[in-house]
Amino acid sequence: MSCFVHFGIDTVELKGEGFKRIAEEGQRVKKGDVVIEFDLPLLEEKAKSTLTPVVISNMDEIKELIKLTGSVTVGETPVIRIKK
pTM over 0.85: no
* Active-site choice (3, 6, 23, 55): 6
pLDDT at position 81 is 92
- pLDDT per residue as tens digits for the range 26-72: 899 988 889 999 999 999 999 999 999 989 999 999 999 999 999 98
Class of domain 3-83: mainly beta
Exposed/middle/buried for residue 36 (C-beta within 10 Å: 0-12, 13-18, 19+): exposed
Residue 6 annotated to the active site: yes
